[in-house]
Amino acid sequence: MISTKSVKPAFEQNYVKLMMDVIGRGLVMASQVDDEIKQEVAKFPVGFTLSMTVFPHGPCFIARVNDSHQLELVKSVEDKPNLVIKFKHLHHAFLVFSFQESTARAFANDRMVADGDLSYAIRLVRCLNKMESLILPKVIAQLAVKEYPTELNLKEKLAGAANIYLKVAQSYFKRSA
């Protein structure tokens, strides 16, 4: 008989790994299609790197601002990223990525830390909030973000989500080709 104690951590590990990949790709694609996110990313310097990770060596993604002021995923960086958002435990990341706890609540509960310039961390959180508001159903997005954007209409939401999902799907096909 399989113990639920061994299944739960394995499930959480795989789920967080998948969500970290989807969020990284979604953020990159959103930086290409959403005007608000484009404006936020344009304020990062070219070459700026950011990472979201789970302590100590859990799932992560790393993105860099390219010459076009868009984000691109990278496998690694020579130096420490300019901004690292770090979950202190795999279960803490699972709570956020399964929409049981918002990013803002996770910071407030000291489940994650930002290592880097606070203004860049705030900018990144705004980008993540907008992306999540676009790609998630409203009822779930309201759980994920501190404040759901009241000016986001259904037409903008559907168009933004379709563009982001299409680009994310294309990125998976490009990777496997």
* The pLDDT of residue 101 is above 70: yes
Decide: 73 and 35 in contact? Cβ < 8 Å.
no
Assign domain 9-169 to its CATH superfamily. Answer: SCP2 sterol-binding domain (3.30.1050.10)
Q: What single letter denotes the amino acid at residue 5?
A: K
The 10s digit of each residue's pLDDT in 110-134 is: 999 999 999 999 999 899 999 999 9
User: How large is the average pLDDT for residues 38-43?
Assistant: 95
The pLDDT of residue 107 is 86
Residues near 153 by Cβ (< 8 Å), separated by ≥ 6? none
Closest CA to 20 of 64, 51, 56: 51
The pLDDT of residue 7 is 63
Would you kindly state where each structural domain of the chain is located, as residue ranges? Answer: 9-169
Q: Which uninterrupted H or E stretch holds 13?
A: helix 4-33
DSSP state of 68: T
The pLDDT of residue 146 is 81
Q: Rounded CA gap, 62 and 83, in Å?
A: 10
pLDDT band of residue 8 (cuts 50, 70, 90) is confident
* The pLDDT of residue 23 is above 80: yes
* Residue found under tokens 């999540």: 132
DSSP state of 81: P
Q: List helix spans (H) across 34-151.
A: 35-42, 90-97, 103-108, 118-135, 138-144
Percent of the chain past pLDDT 90, that is, above it, reads 58
**How many helices (H) and strands (E) in the chain?**
7, 5
Distances (CA, A) of 120 to 10, 17, 50, 88, 136: 33, 24, 9, 20, 24
What pTM was estimated for this model as a whole? 0.85
pLDDT band of residue 177 (cuts 50, 70, 90) is low
